[in-house]
């Protein structure tokens, strides 16, 4: 069961670091890795309601690693 104490820099699904540039004040002025990918709405809908819109998913849980590799963007 996911921890309901959601941290903005951790994935709400697995608890790993999500590498969201917006969650880190030092990099908040940079574009986040998620801006260049498409996340299937079903992935987001699979999250428990209380965890939605709280923090970004990590690339693995967002199921976008292949998109990042295809775009030659480093996987965070």
Does this model's pTM top 0.85? no
Residue 72's pLDDT is: 62
Residue 11's pLDDT is: 93
In the three-class reduction of DSSP (H, G, I as helix; E, B as strand; rest coil), residue 14 is classed as coil
Residue 25's pLDDT is: 93
Between CA 61 and CA 75 the distance in angstroms is 12
Q: What is the pLDDT along the chain (76 residues), one digit of tens a residue?
A: 444 678 999 999 999 999 999 999 999 999 998 888 889 999 999 999 999 998 999 988 988 877 777 766 655 5
Residue 2's pLDDT is: 47
């Amino acid at each position: 069961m996911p921890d309901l104490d959601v941290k903005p820099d951790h994935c709400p699904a697995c608890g790993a670091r999500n590498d969201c540039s917006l969650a880190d004040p030092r990099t908040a002025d940079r574009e986040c890795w998620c801006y260049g990918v498409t996340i299937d709405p079903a992935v987001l809908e699979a999250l428990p309601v209380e965890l939605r819109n709280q923090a970004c998913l990590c690339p693995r849980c967002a199921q976008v690693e292949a998109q990042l590799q295809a775009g030659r963007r480093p996987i965070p």
